[in-house]
Structures are given as structure tokens and as C-alpha cells.
Structure 1
């Protein structure tokens, strides 16, 4: 993922690109900070694997659904990079590279992809007509969870603990109710923000 995007052609016929503006960078940084803050809320270990429940998924999907695929991906990638260099912004006040090899590593790796998918669906599938519909945003955000977060989280637990798919899936089950609630909150907030700021998503 680069921080440029095609915006047409120049006078010489070559594609023009537009880099992230100062506003874009500020939004990326703000949402990276929001994700870090969300990791501190809850952090309650559940299930047989002891992976904690936090509000990270809420902040990750909100970033994608509000900022779109490029900026949403960048915000989550920045959050992961800051955590990787040692800032204690992961669940349980953890930082460094250890969380990327832990039982919850699959969930961490899924976050930027899920944000990009949710942002893509809101921007290009829901589009200008439906991005202000909480139901449409819910479907887009939930797709990121169902298609990316849960499968990658389950795969990570399988590999880390050397257990069967069924066992890892059972460890993942407690997260579904929380995800439904968090996705509902994402949908309600994102739909209202897009109604108030219709150009926010389509800046990038």
C-alpha cells in the first residue's frame, strides 16, 4: 500500500498521483492513537486461549469505514509499527515484537487488512448513496470481521498452539457477540459522520 493514488493524467499523458495531504496524515495519526487507546479498554482474557477482549476491533473498523481503504490501512499499520518499536499500546500494555508471535498474533496481522476491506466496501460498494445508512455500513464492517479478523485469528491460534481448527474456532467463539455490538457502534457512528461530512470518505 503506497501513500499515492492516481488522480487522472498530466498534460504529458502520464498518470498523475496525489500524496497524502496534511489532513490525511493527521487523520491517520489520530486514528492510530484511537486504536492504541482502545486496546486499554477491557482487555479481559476469555475462552480457552485467553486472548483478551478489547475495543481494538471497534477502532480498527471505524478507521476503515470513516477514512476509506488507503488511510484506514495506513492508520492501523502505523499503530502496529508504533507497537512494534516498543510503545506499550497493545492489549495488556504490551509492546515490542513479542505480541506478533503470541497466540493473538493472527488478530493483530488481520487488523490493517480488515480496515482496508471495510473501507473499500463502504467507499465503493455502499458508495455515496448508502454510506449514510447504518445498516449498509454495518454489513461492510461486519464483512471485514467475518472474512478477515476471525479467520486470521483462528489460524494464528491454530499455529501457535498446534491445535485443530475446531478447537481454535471454539476459542474464537466468545468474540462474536462482542463483535456484533462493536460493529453496531461502528455503523451508527460512521453513518452519522458521513452524513455530517459527506466528503470525508471520498477525499481518499
Structure 2
């Protein structure tokens, strides 16, 4: 009988285990996002706080892959909607200005996770591109949600819900684009 070495599809696949590992990773991803969401800075000119949430959502998607990433962000969304105060600035529930962004986390986790499963998180440039796509998915859900919650027109919603965050998102993308490929290299050297 021959032994076939299967390369891990995501960083989470490097860890041994089956269903129990996947459940722990899904719950851990949701908790990680909930914790980083508390690192939030309210901005006086917009109802959307500056936080580490998007960075952790994109990392969770890349590390866990599409299915576990979506499950993790769906757990985060549903638990927060049910009252767990782990959205940015200890918010919870269905109706607040940034809820559309939280919905976008699920989509972003799927996109980033799917691309990571195909190896797009293993070099700096491709990882940066994946993170940009993930951010765009968050904005694609967040801006319409902001418009619905506040009655803002599109131009004003973009001005308040995207523009103030672009520099921070660029920094988060640079960090992720360095962190993920470096982690893959470290994992590869230890295998």
C-alpha cells in the first residue's frame, strides 16, 4: 500500500483532526472576529466605527477556507443578531447602520476562502488581490445596508461608509499579504 501525501488546501488543514477540529475552528473564528471587533474607534462623522473586524474576517476566510469560513461568519452574524454584543463597539441585533457590513462578512469569507483553497494566499501579490476582493464584498453589502438603515443616498453612503476606511483597509491588506504567505512558508518548512 502506498502513502499519498495530500497538500493542505488551507492553513486550517495543516492541523490534524476531523469534525471536532472543524467545529473548534468555526467557533474560534467567530470568537476571534468578535474579539477584534471590540478594537473599535468611533468616528464622529460616520455611524461606522473603525475596527479590526474586516482584517480578522479576511484572515478567517483565508485560513479556514470557504465552507468553514462561511460557517464561522454565519455563526458570528446569527449570534450577534440574537443578542451577543460582539459586533463593533459591543453592538448586537439586526438593525443598526453597520449590520450590512456584517452580512458582507459571510460573502467575503466565502470569496477569500474559495480563492485560498486554490492557493491564492501563498504569495504576496495574489494574497493582496484576494484581500481586495474580500473588502469589496464587504462594501458591496455594507453600503446598501447603510443606505437602508440611514436613508442616505449612494454618494453620501460611499463617502461615509467607504472613503474613511480605505487607508486602514490598505494597511490591513499589506499586513495580510505578508502574514499569510509567510505562514505558508513556515508551514512548508516544517512539513
In the TM superposition, residue 85 of structure 1 has moved relative to its aligned partner by 2.5
Q: Is the 8 A contact 1:65 1:137 kept in 2?
A: no
Residue 132 (str. 1) matches residue 129 (str. 2): no
Residue 12 of structure 1: aligned partner: none
Superposition CA RMSD, Å: 1.7
Q: Which residue of 1 aligns with 2:21?
A: 23
Structure number with higher strand proportion: 1
The equivalent of 2:45 in structure 1 is 48
* 1:78 aligns to 2:75 (yes or no): yes
Distance 1:84 1:50 in 2: 18
Alignment of 1:1-204 (within 5 A): 21-41=19-39, 43-46=40-43, 48-95=45-92, 97=93, 100-124=94-118, 127=119, 131-146=121-136, 148-172=137-161, 173-197=163-187
After superposition, the C-alpha distances for 1:141-168 in whole angstroms (9 at most, x for unaligned) are 111112x111221111112222211111
Please give the TM-score of this superposition, normalised by the length of structure 2: 0.82
Query: Could you give the per-residue CA deviations for residues 96-134 of structure 1, whole angstroms, max 9, x where no partner exists?
Result: x2xx2111111011001111101112222xx2xx53212
| Contact 1:110 1:152 (C-alpha < 8 Å) held by counterparts | yes
d(CA) in 2 for partners of 1:195, 1:74: 27
Name the stretch that deviates more: 188-197 or 173-182: 188-197
CA contact (8 A) 1:47 1:171 kept: no
Counterparts of 2:96 and 2:47, CA distance in 1: 11
Contact 2:38 2:86 in 1 (8 A): yes
Distance 1:26 1:48 in 2: 38
Structure 1: runs of 5 or more not aligned: 1-19, 199-204
Correspondence for 1:202: none
CA distance in 2: counterparts of 1:182 and 1:131, whole angstroms: 14
